[in-house]
């Protein structure tokens, strides 16, 4: 984990750190219709301002994190690449 990410995590307190998905999780920007799943790095997660945990994004029974980066970037993050791809395809099929 980068020094910047560690500083951000320590400054935000344990509660916020617990809500961040781990490095190596997979996510996509659901606000961008051309987004694709990608493996997230410490640098990607350092940009996150807030995450919330959900059990059913897009109607799927999968735990995910919704992580706000900016007004135009909100990452939906899953533990595995397969879960991420399933959610991305479900979102696209539903026109969300």
pLDDT (tens digit per residue) in 26-76: 999 999 989 999 999 999 999 999 999 998 888 899 999 999 999 999 999
Tell me the mean pLDDT in the region 5-31. Answer: 69
Work out the pLDDT band at 18, boundaries 50, 70, 90. Answer: low
The C-alpha atoms of residue 60 and residue 86 are separated, in whole angstroms, by 9
Tell me the mean pLDDT in the region 10-28. Answer: 73
Confidence check: pLDDT of 93 > 80:
yes
Return the closest-CA partner of residue 90 out of 68, 59, 67, 54. Answer: 59
Residue 33 is predicted with a pLDDT of 87
**Token representation of residue 22:** 């781990």
């Amino acid at each position: 984990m980068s020094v910047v990410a560690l500083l951000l995590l320590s400054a935000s307190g344990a509660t916020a750190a617990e809500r961040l998905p781990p490095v190596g999780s997979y996510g996509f920007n659901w606000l961008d219709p051309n987004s694709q799943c990608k493996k997230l790095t410490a640098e990607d997660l350092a940009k996150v301002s807030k995450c919330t945990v959900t059990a059913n994004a897009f109607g799927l029974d999968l735990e995910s994190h919704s992580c706000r980066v900016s007004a135009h970037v909100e990452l939906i993050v899953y533990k595995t690449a397969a879960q991420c791809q399933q959610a991305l395809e479900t979102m696209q099929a539903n026109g969300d």
